[in-house]
Amino acid sequence: MPRAALDRMIGLAGGTIRRQLTLAFAVATGLVMFGFGYGVIQHQSKFLMEQSAHSAEDLAHMLAVGSTAWLVANDVTGLQVELASIARNPNLNYVLVLGRDGKVLAASDVGTIGLVADDPVSRRLLSGAVPRARILVDDERLVDVAEPIFAGTRHLGWVRIGWGRGQVRDNLAEITRRGYILGGFAIGFAVLLALAIAGGLTRGLRQLIYVANAVHKGERNVRAGLGRSDEIGQLAESINGMLDALAASERERMATEEEIRSLAFYDPLTHLPNRRMLIERLRHAMISSGRTERAGALLFIDLDNFKTLNDTLGHDMGDLLLQQVASRLVRCIREGDTVARLGGDEFVVMLEGLAHETGDAAAQAEAIGRKVLGSLNAPYELAGRRHQSTSSIGITLFDRDLHTIDELLKRADLAMYNAKTAGRNTLRFFDPHMQTVVTARAALEGDLREGLQLGQFVLYYQSQRDVDSRITGAEVLLRWLHPERGLVGPNEFIPLTEETGLIIPIGQWVLDSACRQLAAWGRAPHTAHLTIAVNISVRQFRQAEFVGQVLQALAESGADARRLKLELTESLLMDDVEEIIGKMTSLKRHGVLFSLDDFGTGYSSLSYLKRLPLDQLKIDQSFVRDVTIDANDAAIASTIVALAHHMGLDVIAEGVETTAQADFLVSIGCCAFQGFLFGQPVPLAQFEQLLVTLEAPA
């Protein structure tokens, strides 16, 4: 076998089980079939050869006996006739009767006479001393036998028969052909059988391989489900058992790890993070505060008189209280903030993502601190017993460049002591400046509430003019007349009222007052045409009942809705625009006008702007201020005017202080103005005086 073919066989045998089995079955069956076929053919060939030799001998013997009488009578013709009839046997190639001298006396056909008359085979007959039966030729094609003819003891001649073996050869060829076919079928069947067995074997093995791979990739719940009882089934069962044992030990390990982790990082009584975990989170919070530029805060909380409770009612009661405090604290904070228990009755709340400005961040921390104080002040139910407790809170802020963690905790702790000394049930900031800011805000908020009750708010009116300086209406601007603070402008208190929600009642008051004034003007012919613009804060507009409030103010005062103009700001567009459009449309249906205040300073998406049912754009005063000296501002103002005209809106410029500004604005097509050039915001009486003065004929 050539080397390459051998290699190929080895290669084939080394492949999958299916291939190995198929090859083995095919080779084995091929060898067996070959051996068997070879044996059968050999045996059959020998048998047929012998059989044909016997047939030839028997026929020769019979003919020798039958020829005696013809030869004795010397009737060669009769003999010839007899031979011709015998020669019809298809196996017979020839039959000859020879005389003692080897001369042909009769032959199966005449052509043979010449052929064998002097052939070397016949000559061999004459050379024998004693005449007896002989086989002259015995090969694959022919058996040639000679039988002496005797009359008594007298030797008369020979019968020679050529028995052809063509039929024997045909038989053997047929047997061989059938052997091949049978062998082919046997090999095919063996291959099919091998494939079937290999399929069954490898299906099970493949599943085991799949399971092993899945386990290798980290899947722990996969198992082999073969449902067979052979060795592969037993192997699968063993593997499953091994995986179960592994999974159980892994679960045990994880549980132990979890327990260790929990002991290391959590407080077992309240399940809150402990000091170690807090420090870890604080470290992260400080890093992320540096990245986001947002401040964070630590609130150090200590229960007032906890020791007394412990001493009088026992530690179990103390533990119950601590658990309830823990769950109340968790409810006070947002997701992402941390409540930790440092030990004893000390808790820390860590806030993240507060405002960038220290003052605002302090206010946010304070708000949560107050919420915590309020929540912890509510009565507790300790094993059926009612208990009241208060707490003291120290607050410190942190950002990227502040101190070590230890220092931070110390600061919060110190602030907490200050709260205790200040009489408990309160909070204190570590930073005295922050404390001042927060206290001032708290005072301002209190004053604002009081101011609202005591009617300290007044409205100032600033005229809005047309291109001929005629008054078309006024914007009402809020002022706070505080007995000690004096006249306070809205920039100083509106932000806080928005934060605290005070803007809602204050804004309502502004709206009611403006509508009442509008109604009063409506009753006098010379003021009936005037409009009033009212500033509406986002928080006010956002209320679900805003539309109803406006309509009620109009109805109660009897003011003409078509003279009321609501000033909205672009920051409103951060909200759900569909809802804004809905509210505006409802009011518009009653005739209310809308102006977009401070236009150009905020987030104005033109696509939204297009959809708002506006009447007017108000160019912000920051563009008007330098409109005559700054080419950029001039370009912005021109663009706003063009945009307004394009959208079919009115446009008004605010903060117009000089005639140069007014002239420029007129030149770009702006025909409405508001600003100190035409009049400062003034109290109502003064504004009405102005109306009279302007109307008086010069």
The SS3 call for residue 452 is helix
The interface region with Mg ion, picked from 354-362, 499-507, 565-573, 685-693 by CB under 5 A, is 565-573
- The three-point CA angle 485-491-494 to 5° equals 90
- Pick from 337, 570, 598, 633: which binds Mg ion (CB under 5 A)? 598
From 30-38, 163-171, 231-239, 650-658, span contacting ligand C2E (CB under 6 A): 650-658
Residue 4, amino acid: A
204 binds, among Mg ion, ligand C2E, none (CB under 5 to 8 A by kind): none
Footprint (CB under 6 A) of ligand C2E, residues 658-687: 675-676, 681
Q: Which does 304 bind (CB under 5 to 8 A by kind): Mg ion, ligand C2E, none?
A: none
From the list 535, 537, 557, 661, which residue makes contact with Mg ion (rule: CB under 5 A)?
535
Q: Contact between 600 and ligand C2E (CB under 6 A)?
A: no
Shortest Cβ 543–Mg ion spacing (Å):
19
Q: Of 338 and 535, which has the nearer Cβ to Mg ion?
A: 535
Q: What is the three-class DSSP state of 468?
A: coil
* Surface-to-core class of residue 564, CB atoms within 10 Å of its CB (0-12 exposed, 13-18 middle, 19+ buried): buried
HSE toward the beta carbon, residue 51, CA cutoff 13 A: 12
Crossing angle of helices 315-332 and 358-377, rounded to 10°:
140
Q: Which is nearer to ligand C2E, 237 or 657 (CB)?
A: 657
DSSP assignment of 206-270 equals HHHHHHHHHHHTT--S--------SHHHHHHHHHHHHHHHHHHHHHHHHHHHHHHHHHHHB-TTT
What is the closest distance, in whole angstroms, from the C-beta atom of residue 591 to ligand C2E in the complex?
21
Do 576 and 597 meet the contact criterion of CB atoms below 8 Å apart?
A: no
Nearer to Mg ion, 447 or 570 (CB): 570
Q: Give dist(CA 84, CA 57) in Å, integer.
A: 18
Region of 395 (left: φ > 0; alpha: ψ -120 to 50; beta: rest) is beta
Q: Which does 657 bind (CB under 5 to 8 A by kind): ligand C2E, Mg ion, none?
A: ligand C2E
Which residue lies nearer to Mg ion by CB, 286 or 533?
533
Nearest-approach distance from CB 447 to ligand C2E, in angstroms: 18
CB count within 10 Å of CB 285 equals 23
Residue 310 interacts with ligand C2E (CB under 6 A)?
no
Q: Residue 559 binds which one of ligand C2E, Mg ion, none, with CB within 5 to 8 A depending on kind?
A: none
Candidates 341-349, 431-439, 447-455, 560-568: pick the segment binding Mg ion (CB under 5 A). 560-568
Tell me if 570 contacts ligand C2E by CB under 6 A.
no
What stretches of 73-165 show up as alpha helix (H) in DSSP? 76-86, 110-116, 120-127
Q: Which is nearer to ligand C2E, 392 or 535 (CB)?
A: 535
Q: How far is the CB of 676 from ligand C2E (least distance, A)?
A: 4
Residue 47, CB-side half-sphere exposure with 13 Å CA sphere? 8
Q: How far is the CB of 298 from ligand C2E (least distance, A)?
A: 35
Cα end-to-end span (Å), the chain: 132
**Binding residue for ligand C2E, selected from 338, 598, 627, 653, defined by CB under 6 A:** 598
Let me know how long the chain is: 698
Q: Residue 680 CB, nearest distance to ligand C2E (Å)?
A: 7
Which residue lies nearest ligand C2E, judged by its C-beta? Answer: 675
Among 304, 352, 366, 597, binds Mg ion (CB under 5 A): 597
Residue in the block written with tokens 């000296």:
629
Interface region with Mg ion, contact rule CB under 5 A, candidates 251-259, 300-308, 396-404, 562-570: 562-570
Residue type, 2: P
289 binds, among Mg ion, ligand C2E, none (CB under 5 to 8 A by kind): none
Separation in Å, CA 52 to CA 83, 162, 169, 301: 19, 11, 11, 124
Q: 221 to 250, contacts with ligand C2E by CB under 6 A?
A: none
CA 569 to chain centroid: 40
Bridge partners of 652, per DSSP, are 618
Gap between the Cα atoms of 337 and 266, Å rounded: 16
Q: Counting contacts by CB under 6 A, is residue 597 touching ligand C2E?
A: yes
Taking the complex as a whole, how short is the minimal distance between the CB of residue 601 and Mg ion, in angstroms? 9
Helix (H) or strand (E) run with residue 94 in it: strand 92-99
The answer to whether 567 contacts Mg ion (rule: CB under 5 A) is yes
- Using alpha carbons only, give the angle 633, 635, 636 rounded to the nearest 5 degrees: 65
Residues 500-519 as x/- pattern, contact with ligand C2E by CB under 6 A: -------x--x---------
Nearest of 129, 148, 146, 127 to residue 137 by alpha carbon: 146
In angstroms, what is the minimal distance from the CB of 476 to Mg ion? 9
Sequence-distant (≥ 6) Cβ neighbours of residue 558 within 8 angstroms: 519, 522
The correct pick among 97, 416, 654, 670 for binding ligand C2E (CB under 6 A) is 654
By the rule CB under 6 A, 312 interacts with ligand C2E: no
Per-residue x/- track, 71-100, Mg ion (CB under 5 A): ------------------------------
Count the residues of the shown chain that bind ligand C2E, applying the rule CB under 6 A: 22
If the CB atoms of residues 238 and 469 are measured against ligand C2E, the closer one turns out to be: 469
Contacts of residue 251, defined as CB under 8 A and 6 or more positions apart, other chains included, come to none
Among 128, 314, 489, 582, binds ligand C2E (CB under 6 A): 489
Residue position matching structure tokens 């290391």: 264
**Number of CB atoms found within 10 A of residue 290's CB:** 13
Among the residue ranges 99-107, 184-192, 248-256, 654-662, the one whose residues contact ligand C2E (CB under 6 A):
654-662
Nearer to ligand C2E, 510 or 691 (CB): 510
For residue 657, state whether it binds ligand C2E (rule: CB under 6 A). Answer: yes
Between 84 and 677, CB nearer to ligand C2E: 677
Question: β-pairing, 486-488 with 564-569?
Answer: unpaired
- Closest approach, Cβ 527 to ligand C2E, in A, equals 21
Measured CA to CA, the distance from residue 475 to residue 463 in angstroms comes to: 7
- Whichever of 605 and 680 has its CB closer to ligand C2E, that residue is 680
Q: Which of 462, 517, 531, 595 binds ligand C2E (CB under 6 A)?
A: 462
Element (H, E) at 52: helix 17-72
DSSP 526-572: TTTT-EEEEE--HHHHHSTTHHHHHHHHHHHHT--GGGEEEEEEGGG
Q: Where along the sequence are the contacts to Mg ion (CB under 5 A)?
A: 535, 567, 597-598
Q: Which stretches of the chain bind ligand C2E, using CB under 6 A? A: 462, 477-478, 489-491, 494, 507, 510, 535, 537, 567, 597-598, 621, 654-657, 675-676, 681
